[in-house]
Structure formats: C-alpha cells, structure tokens
Amino acid sequence: MHSDFVTLANREDIVTTSPRNLALRNAIPDVFITAVRQMCDQPTLQFQWIRYLPMLATNHWDHFWTSFIFDLKKKIGNLEVLVSRCPGLPRRSPRQLRFLHDRMLDQHGDPIFPDLPFNSAVYISKDYQQPAIKILKTCGLKEVDNEQIIARAAYDLSRPKATSKMKSPDTDANWHSRAAKLLHAPFRDKDGSLEAKVKELPLLPLSTKTWASVSDGATHFSTTSEGVPIPEAVDVALIDPIASACNDRKTLFQAIGITFLTTSDVRAKILHMYDRGKYYYLPSLGDSVSLLKFLHLSQPENGSRTECRNISLHAHNSYQYRPNRVDMFFQEQTVPYSPSKLGLAVEFVHPDYLASSPVQQTPGVGTTKVEWKEWLHCFMQVRRHLRLIARDDVDSLSNEVLHVAEHMPSKFLGLLRHLWPHEKDQASTNDVLCSKVARTLVLCEGGEQRPLEGAILPTARLKLLASKYTEEGETMPFLQMESTSQVSEERLAGWKFLNHFAVIQTDSLSFYLEMIKTITTANPRPDQIRQPSRVLGLYVAIHGKTGEFDVEESRGRIRSVPVATWFLCVQKCW
C-alpha cells in the first residue's frame, strides 16, 4: 500500500500517532474493498483475491497495523463478494456461507447432501482452494454444522426417489456409509436436541421398499439377534437387509433405536399371525414358504405339532388347507404306493415347499435336528403315505384305500401291506375294522374276486400241495400278488398281518377243506372228478394231521363240505 505517510526523522517507520497516518490507515479497508469488487469481475481473480488479505500469523504486526487488519476483516466478513456452490445465486458474504469439510464430501468430491435451494443455499463454491478457505475463516466463514447437515438430509429425503440421493437405488454403499457417519455425529457428541431431529428423519429403508422414521412405529433389523433372517411376511417393520449390511448405517440405525428381535419373539409372532380365531391367515405361496422355513429353523426340541395346528399350506391346485383338517401329501413318484404313484386325486403340497431346503441351522437357534421335509411331516402333518383307517371313522378303511380296492384291485394287497406297519396298533385291535377288511373283495389267481377272508397266501409250500391234489381247471383261491406268483420264505414274515383277516397261510384244515371245495366246485357231479383217489388222499392227509386240529370242530367243518357225503367211509378214520 503506497501513500504519503508521515514518517520518523530517520524515515525507517511511520509515526503511529499522526492524525494523517491514522486517517490513511482507516481509509485503507475501503480502498481494499473497492479493489476486491473489481477483482470479482474477473473469472480467475474472483477466487484468488483472498491471498492478498493480510494474516496476523504471517508477520509481527504492531498495534497500528493490527487495528487495520481487524477492521479490514470485519468489513470483508460482511462483504457480499463470495460465490456460492449453487450457480446463479447472488454473491454472499463469508458470514453467510459455509465451507464443507472433507468428511462432508463423497468419493467424487461432491457434497454428500445437496444444498438447500435458492436463497437458503450456504455452500461456498468449490473453486475456493483450501488456502483461501483458511484465510476466509478469519473473516467469519464457518464450517457447515450438524444442524445444517440434518436440514439438508431432511430436504433430500423429502424429494422423490428419482431425485433423492438417499432414496435412489443407484446410490452406492460408499455414499451411504459416509452419509451415515455424518448423521451419527450428534449421537457421538451426545447432542440431545440434534439427536431428536435425526430421529425425526424418514431415513429408515424398509424391506417393503418404503421409508420411515422411528416415530412411525417400532422397526427392527431384518435378522434376529441370533442371525436368522426374518421373513418379510412377519407383521413387523424391518430394515432392508442391504442397508443394514453396511456397518456405518447399522451403527446409525442402532443409535436411533432400531433393535434386534430374538428368534423366539419372531416365532411367537408368526404363530400368532395364524392364530386369529375364525379369521384364517392365508399368506401368498412365497410368504407361506418363508414363514414355515423360519418355524423349522427355530423349532425347539420339545416343540409340539399342536402349535402349528392353525397353519395352512398351499396345495398343488393353489388352494390352501390346514393339514390337520384335510390330508395333504408329498408328491413322490419314487415311493411305492404313494398317492401320486397310484394316481389318486388327493391334495398334494405345492412343489415350491420342497424346491429348496432352509439354510443350515444357526448355532444356538432352536435345538431341533429334524430335516426340512421330515419337519413338514412331523409338525405340519404332511403325509408321506395314505391313511389305512378313515380319518373320521376308526371302523372303516379310508376312501383312498377303498378306491384302490375297487378300481385297482391288483394294487390293493401291496397297498395294504405297505400301510399296515403305520397303523397296525390301532387296526389290529379293532374287530369291526378287521371284519370289514376281511370282507373286502380281492383279486385272486385266475382273475376272480372274492373276500379276503378265506383266500390263500401263495407260498411255495401251499402252491406245491395244491398242485398235488388239484387238476387243471380246479383253481385254488390264491391271492394274486402284484409282482410275483408266489411268496418266498424270506418275504413271508411281511405277510403275517393277514392272519387278522383269516387269510390261509399254512397247510391248516382250512387249506385242505378249501381244496375239497375247489374240486367240488369245478366238478358238480362226483362222476366228473378225475382221479377220485386224490380226494380220498385229501381226507387221509387231514386224518394224518388230526393231532394239530380240534377233533370236534374239525368233524363239523368236514361234514359241512358237500363232497364229504360222497366218502362216508372216511368218517371211520375218526
């Protein structure tokens, strides 16, 4: 600054008490400001004039010049010569604008939260370099504070998804991490008033693709405290799992009150959703699958199927049924005598339930070790096989078994053998049921159908005996087996249950009398019998086994056979 100052006699300094010098000094700030205004008209100088501002720290100023510096910076602080970051706005003074710290910028150097519009904008232009910012701070320029950050976050969240940085699906995790750190600052600083303002922001991304604030109601993380994913169908507000995967966002969410539900809490909520009295909960197929898989993963070791009694399942025809009221089956083509293998019209569970198994059980969550499909069977009561006994009538065969007996007689015996082990305790002690089964028509060799009672199991021994005493055209009522002509000794044990229905399985008196009946039926007149001596041989054979029979009972049964009157001489053997 050149001027006609009053100097000392040696001309090495000015006279600091001179009125002229004081007047000159007081005029310098105005001159400097005039120069600044002129520099602001230049594209480059408008961002560089700050370097000409004197700095107290760069020289040893005496009181005379110190007053000048303070006066200059005070006037600069109110001088509207700075350019804001928002283009087109009038120039602002240093005290009206704010600079952005590096933590407030994204990875590209742009503000994490855009400035407010129009006259509310306060961000200083990015063309001011850090040395200039440092000097302007001495003129009243301040850093954007937490309250201003919150206001700009609120503005961003108020905008549509297409223009909101926070809500845009295209915004990357790095940006969200930086934004979360900014908004977490009031909690770190324990600023209660600003904490409350952050909690009012709708910055919670929900799994429903909507946004909410904590004031909208309880919100929880999308996994339980044990790490099990919570199905979206559960009647609770859940944070989008992609959002909570970012540790900084997760920290912010926890700070504003987002909590984890325990696995047992979620399990109870799911069961309650289904337990609504007369109002059935009928979820979509996808929701149903996810809800059941959670129940499986959280199944306690001492759990009971009764807690699942109100849960419905989707059938293959898209209807929903409760398996404890309507029998539902797995659709298994490889299992012998399964409903699907037999082609029966029953309710099959939708294949989506078995499309994939739940993830491996999380340690500490539920103690069941039951595999997914087995869980559906044990706890949801999805059936692997048909019922032998009717669901609503313990004295009758199920409709499906009766259907097979009537329309697929060749399958009936195999089906009966397949189902017997599953319900033998109940069936074997029910005389009424056993009597009905015994009267059921079954397919015998030769294509004849007759009651199961009195039919013969085609063992190798009985087939051999029959061939010894019968001729061609005299067909014994051997049961028609599905895959073989006779039952081998090693498979005989699997047919012992037929004793409950009076099926002949040994060379008992009934077997020999059945041979006599067969011969008599095939030969109405005695003179038609070929080799009549074989009939006498039958009686001799019976006589030889008298020690195995009750004599009085045997005599009555023998006499009831018509052919016995033809060979009265045989009675003398008794």
Distance of CA 227 to the CA centre of its chain: 13
In order, the DSSP letters of 68-133 are HHHHHHHHHHT---BPBSSTTPPPB-TTT-EEPPGGGB-TTSSBSSPPPSGGG--BBPTTS-HHHH
The beta-carbon contacts of 101-105 under 8 Å, at least 24 apart in sequence, are: 101/143, 101/144, 103/178, 103/181, 103/182, 104/144, 104/149, 104/182, 105/178
> Which parts of the chain sit beneath pLDDT 50?
362-364, 564-574
Q: Token digits for 300?
A: 């306690």
With a threshold of 0.85, does the pTM exceed it? no
User: Per residue in 493-541, pLDDT tens?
Assistant: 889 999 999 999 998 888 988 988 888 888 877 777 788 778 888 888 8
User: Per residue in 455-465, pLDDT tens?
Assistant: 999 999 999 99
CA–CA distance, 309 with 292 (Å, rounded to integer)? 13
What pLDDT does 62 receive?
77
| Max intra-chain CA distance, the chain | 175
What pLDDT does 363 receive?
47
What pLDDT does 359 receive?
60
Residue type, position 252, single letter: L
H or E, element range at 364: none
What pLDDT does 572 receive?
36
The beta-carbon contacts of 11-19 under 8 Å, at least 24 apart in sequence, are: 14/64, 16/62, 16/63, 16/64
What pLDDT does 487 receive?
81
What pLDDT does 561 receive?
62
How many helices (DSSP H) and strands (DSSP E) are in the chain?
19, 12
**451 forms bridges with which residues in the sheet?**
441
In sign, the C-alpha dihedral spanning 195, 198, 200, 206 is negative
The beta-carbon contacts of 359-364 under 8 Å, at least 24 apart in sequence, are: 359/297, 361/297, 362/226, 362/227, 362/228, 362/297, 364/226
Helix axes 146-157, 192-200, angle to 10 degrees: 10
CA–CA distance, 226 with 294 (Å, rounded to integer)? 12
